[in-house]
Structure 1
């Protein structure tokens, strides 16, 4: 009654209770917020996927042109004034005018694009007939041999002048959209309101008598060298009697009187067969090698380093069987020799220095590769002045543009079949046009674009035999200090360097990070864990450029100075901790309880410090005993054998083997016996057992090392070799230091996420904390631990600044822990600022980025698959 009255007076009752009751329906604001969050997360995830896909598409877009080959931009065929057999043709680098010389000395120039005749001239040879002609590599400095045994030198080249924009002659006629002419020169408008004037320029020196009996010169080659103060002119000739001579003129200028003095030295090449019919004659720019070839394909190579006494160094056949030699010439740089044959063969030879050369100068012409053969005899050849490209033409008029290193046939062009030998071919100075002129006045002119002739999948990922190398190799070298340098773009050493840096850094980081995560998760007090984990996470905030700076300028010199102590520390530190752990077990229980917690944690650092000091103090003794007193000399292979190093490497494996055998044989009996002993005594017995096993492992390791040494195995030249200050060991230290926080934090979180009920059940079943951690907690958290390791690997693969500063940046294929490396990311960082946009180097760096992208994608995909398997197994527990 009272209750009812109270309810009536207050007006509460069911009504009041209804007011405080929770609503069963979710409010509209919560639903809207949830929907917005759902859409936001979905859109954000999709945008991330789109961004990653966009990056991949952009990288691929830049890379694809590397593999597209070349294309012909324009083809012109026109007639100019017929001439006697064409002896020589040339053009300027802007492809403005063409220059033709007939074998009677008449010079004519014409507009290259339209064929319009321009200025002409005639060289004054005083009625002498040209019987041979040669030129320097640029084609502008010429040497003429005559029927009376004399030689005459000249310069015939396009003269290029830059004029003001108003200097155009009023009578100039338009040739095409770019060029105008006044009948003698061609004018082209260029940016800056200027004109480029291209005209014919000729210069002829006085003749020199070479053949003593006045015999005609049948072949000649010509090179210019020396310096501006002391220019040299070297040439080689063969006369009608088959006598070959090398000559050199050296001009010196008196600094006081400015008078020039020229000294001439001539020698006869010995040992040429009598009556030889020389078809090809070549001389190198340094005038240290001369090649004489006859029609049967025999090449006589002379060593002319001693100009006064040349030596026949080697005789070899360019082709086997009855195939005749029809073409012989140098590639750019004069390290590669091109030989064309009567059956269409095109062969490339390098002059190498093998151990068993069997020649007088220790070098031998070696066949490196055979390019795609023609179907008719090869009759002409022209080499690029910029790279290792070449053009060959056969008797049927097939003109093929090739590249030596990549072995590609880049373009296949056609013209009319050749009817005589009076046809000349030229590859333009900028490697973007081919010019052919014959005696009938027909000119074939192709312009083309082949931006990346040296790139194929084989040159990027396979072995390539480059000029100057003893054999095929994986090489990255994008630039050099000479114009004839050939860039080498193999990504294999960069991929290898990336994997090498990752492996050595993870070998250092994974054990420390995972054991640290297990220790702080399963064994230390929560207060210590609350201090240690934030400190480890703060390590991740250290800039890698600072770590790289410290590694390069501080750590690398210290490691180099104390390398023996550093190596000893790898064994001294774990041994010290293990010994301290066994001694800790022997302490009375009351003392262990008093020292548990922070004192125990502090004692660990004391033990680590003692281990470091022991390694430092015992380092010299360790070096004397195991490395014959000099570790660096030992790594070079100068002293000692590999037995001591094998002993050290096999010792941990031997200990694991001994432990396994002990556990499988007397392990159970031993553990039961320990239970019946007092704790202190059992701890000392266990320490003795550990020491005995260590001695047994040492014996086993020594036997294995001695056996491997006896059969001839030496680890030097593999994982250990010549010591370099900035090496993979230093990179492993510092990059491991950068990776540890990633692995530790994620692994520790995964271990802590394991339900406490599993730990309690394991401990209740009689398992020790260590057994619980290893056989219950760790398998349950394996998916998270594995993900932590893979994220750490991803961090190591993409690391840049540490590798740039501490690894030496040497792109080599070598597992030697004591030398450097170059990674994909470091290569991009170092070379991208120097790469011209659109160049081969620029696109190769983007290919390196795409390769790095693919590597991380594959690693992460495999990691996710494995993580899901671990996770499925964990859920089944």
Structure 2
């Protein structure tokens, strides 16, 4: 015996053929393979983490410049001649030459970087001196008013030509590393062995008499428009006697003969108050509004849409109190009015059309925002030609670059305090430089780089009051057809759209997927399960672009045509299944055994088809009873009240309430009585009980709906509103269909992983299979089921093509299930191909990606915490 024990301890044993040695040591190949797998899994996991953080760092690197403000690149200060009172200044878009125009018509140019004097010309003013100057927003079309009541129009602008590299004039001298000059023009070296020639172009028209009495023109503003063959010229003037006139010339050019025919329209504005000292006058590009202001801050707004009969629409005080109005001007697009005050205030007004405006034309000037105030009187203002940037200057020489939409001061520049009132200031055409020139010949020139002035945390995630809007809103609208457009980069409606699409798709997907998983795991025959589960998993392979295509071109029109039947199906399908379940219970036991398995499974599809047919057949009746015969008109609020819909919404809640009351009162007695009945009788009695409770629920729901309607509540305008064909309902259907396989497969696997001993113990204790599934199996597998739901949610959050094709692509904040939406991922897919690299839109799309990344990270982190709690509970069972 001792020998046998010793043999056993040494790994040997006696058999019929003799002693056999057994090796207890693991082979080296297995150990090596195990170690390689261990290291491979570890390294792979670490690489995944590194890749995730690498993606996050890359996204952050692209996004960070949005919030870095701007940089001052160069500062120049020099003197130029002649030192005469200035009427106007201008620069070219390449920061090459500056143009100074004096009141007597002398136009001189100089090199912006060095101050070198260049060519100059003198406009033929007939020896007169301009008393007023106005110009278009491009600063090249200028109107001069004179003391004899005449007006002259001029075009003064840099002329740009692209030449070959061998076109440089002999004797041209260098100005800097880029530019050369022949004294008349500046030649800039550009890539491709080419030269960019910039010279002065100037011409002036013959004078036009505006004031018949010969009164001096003291204020003028000027706009051009129309087309090449039908140009228009509009201007408003105020003479020394206080008479304001608006004029328009319309020219028709015969394209064959080139003969021009000009028609002049002129009208006198309603009389200004006697003795009013006019300081500013503005004209809109359409010549439909005129603004006249005096020093005290009173702004007279005239409606000139009817050119023959202009009228005073509104009188407005820009600075109530002691503060005086010092400067006034339009922002780019002429939707925003800027007013600067003698105490340094800078205010922005929009002309809006609110209810009860109390003005002649229904519009009203409304104070939108106060920009950062100067410490001294504001004496000059210039607006951008491309966006909503502006520059203001005070008497102490502080020059501030601002942006209206983001309400931020981008740069604060400084020059010597002003000593005269003839100082001119402008913002370069590309928003990359500011020029200040005074009558003494002093020029200050700053070039800078401010790539994303419209972006702040407030404009991205908060409400912003945009031009033309009656109130602050969350809006995404990244582009338009004109430069006057105000970009709107709020991610809030996109985040909301992502959540909306996710919620509606999960409302559709979770019940179907989880109930299907429970049925497959706990009730379905193994032979059928082996077929159903792979088929469900194959649904995952369907391309989402195909699903989106089907949703947009097939499902959306069907749902729109049969919307009442679709809504009715939400009730008809579960009711038909419930009725079929009761009838199945009432069948004789022998029949249930005979029909169990595949026949029972097929009968379920027959029941679903029956429910769909009932919804289809009863759809028109349902629409007539609950939506007054036209669901779309009802959602618009054109017909009916909200009572029928409230009844439908409150019905499930009422049923839950009635069921709770029944369970708390006679529920126990009823269940005991039910056990005494026969197997065929009990289901019919229970069906009658269920129908009675349904009728009681209908009564309760109607009472509640009538009470809410009586106090004035109407559900329309919220979750239910105007019907749009491509809407969240369609997205919920199709995206839910795409999510169901994920949730179903993982949840079914989690349910199958529950030990069979728990099921056996529950059934042995007298629980039914359904009770075992709901109160034993499901809680035990809850961590896995919750993880399945979270993975499905992650799929829904990141879904792109279905939303792009089926959701209407409208970035709005609206829970309306019949309206569209736009998600973060869809927004990236739609707009990235059109975004210029490193532009504001380009970086904003990367910020959208980073936001989606952060949302997914937060959701998954919270989900993992909750899953771990469910898992800990399961271990305690």
| TM-score, scaled relative to structure 1 | 0.98
Say whether the 8 Å CA contact 1:85–1:421 is kept in structure 2: no
Whole-Å separation in 1 of the counterparts to 2:823 and 2:257: 58
The equivalent of 1:220 in structure 2 is 220
Q: CA deviation at 1:24?
A: 2.2
The CA RMSD over aligned residues, in Å, is 1.3
The equivalent of 1:364 in structure 2 is 364
Could you say what secondary structure the match of 1:183 adopts?
Answer: coil
Whole-Å separation in 2 of the counterparts to 1:655 and 1:307: 67
The equivalent of 1:805 in structure 2 is 805
Say whether the 8 Å CA contact 2:392–2:401 is kept in structure 1: yes
The equivalent of 2:266 in structure 1 is 266
Q: CA deviation at 1:276?
A: 1.3
Whole-Å separation in 2 of the counterparts to 1:555 and 1:210: 66
Whole-Å separation in 1 of the counterparts to 2:806 and 2:769: 41
The equivalent of 1:111 in structure 2 is 111
The equivalent of 1:135 in structure 2 is 135
The equivalent of 2:776 in structure 1 is 776
The equivalent of 1:340 in structure 2 is 340
Whole-Å separation in 2 of the counterparts to 1:794 and 1:266: 65
Say whether the 8 Å CA contact 2:504–2:728 is kept in structure 1: yes
Whole-Å separation in 2 of the counterparts to 1:806 and 1:604: 30
Note the 1:92-111 alignment, pairs <5 A: 92-111=92-111
Whole-Å separation in 1 of the counterparts to 2:681 and 2:317: 86
Q: CA deviation at 1:258?
A: 3.3
Q: 1:248–1:866: structure 2 CA closer, same or farther, 3 Å change rule?
A: same
Q: CA deviation at 1:311?
A: 0.6
The equivalent of 1:8 in structure 2 is none
Could you say what secondary structure the match of 1:265 adopts?
Answer: strand
Q: CA deviation at 1:192?
A: 2.1
Could you say what secondary structure the match of 1:84 adopts?
Answer: coil
The equivalent of 1:161 in structure 2 is 161
2:563 matched to 1:556? no
Whole-Å separation in 2 of the counterparts to 1:644 and 1:874: 44
Whole-Å separation in 2 of the counterparts to 1:792 and 1:204: 71
The equivalent of 1:546 in structure 2 is 546
Could you say what secondary structure the match of 1:448 adopts?
Answer: strand
Whole-Å separation in 2 of the counterparts to 1:159 and 1:844: 36
The equivalent of 1:621 in structure 2 is 621
Whole-Å separation in 1 of the counterparts to 2:443 and 2:63: 37
The equivalent of 2:711 in structure 1 is 711
Could you say what secondary structure the match of 1:120 adopts?
Answer: strand
Q: CA deviation at 1:19?
A: 6.8
Whole-Å separation in 2 of the counterparts to 1:146 and 1:189: 42
The equivalent of 1:287 in structure 2 is 287
The equivalent of 1:7 in structure 2 is none
Say whether the 8 Å CA contact 2:295–2:324 is kept in structure 1: yes
The equivalent of 2:8 in structure 1 is none
Whole-Å separation in 2 of the counterparts to 1:306 and 1:359: 16
Whole-Å separation in 2 of the counterparts to 1:755 and 1:52: 36
2:190 matched to 1:190? yes
Per-residue CA deviations over 1:822-866 (Å, capped at 9, x if unaligned) read 000000000000001100000000000000000000000000000
The equivalent of 1:519 in structure 2 is 519
Could you say what secondary structure the match of 2:680 adopts?
Answer: helix
Q: CA deviation at 1:574?
A: 0.4
Q: CA deviation at 1:27?
A: 2.1
Whole-Å separation in 2 of the counterparts to 1:710 and 1:778: 43
The equivalent of 1:668 in structure 2 is 668
Q: CA deviation at 1:462?
A: 0.6
Could you say what secondary structure the match of 1:772 adopts?
Answer: helix
Q: CA deviation at 1:15?
A: 11
Per-residue CA deviations over 1:779-807 (Å, capped at 9, x if unaligned) read 00000000000000000000000000000
2:424 matched to 1:424? yes
The equivalent of 1:697 in structure 2 is 697
Note the 1:363-402 alignment, pairs <5 A: 363-402=363-402
Per-residue CA deviations over 1:335-386 (Å, capped at 9, x if unaligned) read 0000000000000000000111111111001110000000000000000001
Q: 1:102–1:20: structure 2 CA closer, same or farther, 3 Å change rule?
A: farther
The equivalent of 1:529 in structure 2 is 529
Whole-Å separation in 2 of the counterparts to 1:749 and 1:127: 96
Say whether the 8 Å CA contact 1:84–1:422 is kept in structure 2: no
Say whether the 8 Å CA contact 1:215–1:240 is kept in structure 2: yes
Note the 1:732-811 alignment, pairs <5 A: 732-811=732-811
Q: CA deviation at 1:257?
A: 4.2
Structure 2 unaligned residues grouped into runs of 5+: 1-11
Whole-Å separation in 2 of the counterparts to 1:483 and 1:444: 28
Structure 1 unaligned residues grouped into runs of 5+: 1-11
Runs of 4+ in 1 over 6 A off after TM superposition: 15-19
Per-residue CA deviations over 1:382-429 (Å, capped at 9, x if unaligned) read 000010000000000000000001000000000000011021001000
Q: CA deviation at 1:701?
A: 1.0
Per-residue CA deviations over 1:579-634 (Å, capped at 9, x if unaligned) read 01111111111111111111111111111111101110110001001100000000
Per-residue CA deviations over 1:192-231 (Å, capped at 9, x if unaligned) read 2221110111101000111111111101111111221111
Could you say what secondary structure the match of 1:425 adopts?
Answer: strand
Whole-Å separation in 1 of the counterparts to 2:429 and 2:258: 35
The equivalent of 2:151 in structure 1 is 151
2:237 matched to 1:237? yes
Q: CA deviation at 1:14?
A: 5.8
Whole-Å separation in 1 of the counterparts to 2:405 and 2:222: 26
Whole-Å separation in 2 of the counterparts to 1:253 and 1:830: 43
Q: CA deviation at 1:22?
A: 2.8
Q: 1:754–1:373: structure 2 CA closer, same or farther, 3 Å change rule?
A: same
The equivalent of 1:570 in structure 2 is 570
Whole-Å separation in 2 of the counterparts to 1:633 and 1:13: 90
The equivalent of 2:299 in structure 1 is 299
Could you say what secondary structure the match of 1:861 adopts?
Answer: helix
Whole-Å separation in 1 of the counterparts to 2:245 and 2:296: 21
Whole-Å separation in 2 of the counterparts to 1:37 and 1:688: 62
Whole-Å separation in 1 of the counterparts to 2:659 and 2:31: 62
The equivalent of 2:30 in structure 1 is 30
Say whether the 8 Å CA contact 1:271–1:312 is kept in structure 2: no
Q: CA deviation at 1:78?
A: 1.0
Q: CA deviation at 1:472?
A: 0.7
Whole-Å separation in 2 of the counterparts to 1:216 and 1:119: 31
The equivalent of 1:406 in structure 2 is 406
Note the 1:563-602 alignment, pairs <5 A: 563-602=563-602
Q: CA deviation at 1:253?
A: 2.5
Q: 1:20–1:177: structure 2 CA closer, same or farther, 3 Å change rule?
A: farther
Say whether the 8 Å CA contact 2:576–2:608 is kept in structure 1: yes
The equivalent of 2:858 in structure 1 is 858
Could you say what secondary structure the match of 1:638 adopts?
Answer: coil
Say whether the 8 Å CA contact 1:352–1:365 is kept in structure 2: yes
The equivalent of 1:78 in structure 2 is 78
Name which of structure 1's ranges 148-157 and 17-26 shifts more when overlaid on structure 2: 17-26
Per-residue CA deviations over 1:688-721 (Å, capped at 9, x if unaligned) read 1111111111111111111111111111000100
Whole-Å separation in 1 of the counterparts to 2:33 and 2:799: 40
Could you say what secondary structure the match of 2:184 adopts?
Answer: coil
Name which of structure 1's ranges 444-453 and 225-234 shifts more when overlaid on structure 2: 225-234
Could you say what secondary structure the match of 2:474 adopts?
Answer: coil
Could you say what secondary structure the match of 1:679 adopts?
Answer: coil
Say whether the 8 Å CA contact 1:83–1:102 is kept in structure 2: no
Per-residue CA deviations over 1:312-343 (Å, capped at 9, x if unaligned) read 11001010111110000000000000000000
Say whether the 8 Å CA contact 1:84–1:104 is kept in structure 2: no
Whole-Å separation in 1 of the counterparts to 2:413 and 2:258: 53
Whole-Å separation in 2 of the counterparts to 1:366 and 1:416: 35
Could you say what secondary structure the match of 1:196 adopts?
Answer: strand
Whole-Å separation in 2 of the counterparts to 1:548 and 1:776: 39
Name which of structure 1's ranges 97-106 and 554-563 shifts more when overlaid on structure 2: 97-106
Q: CA deviation at 1:483?
A: 2.1
Q: CA deviation at 1:26?
A: 1.9
The equivalent of 1:497 in structure 2 is 497
The equivalent of 2:608 in structure 1 is 608
Q: CA deviation at 1:680?
A: 1.3
Whole-Å separation in 2 of the counterparts to 1:320 and 1:272: 20
The equivalent of 1:633 in structure 2 is 633
Q: CA deviation at 1:130?
A: 1.1
Say whether the 8 Å CA contact 2:104–2:127 is kept in structure 1: no
Q: CA deviation at 1:662?
A: 1.1
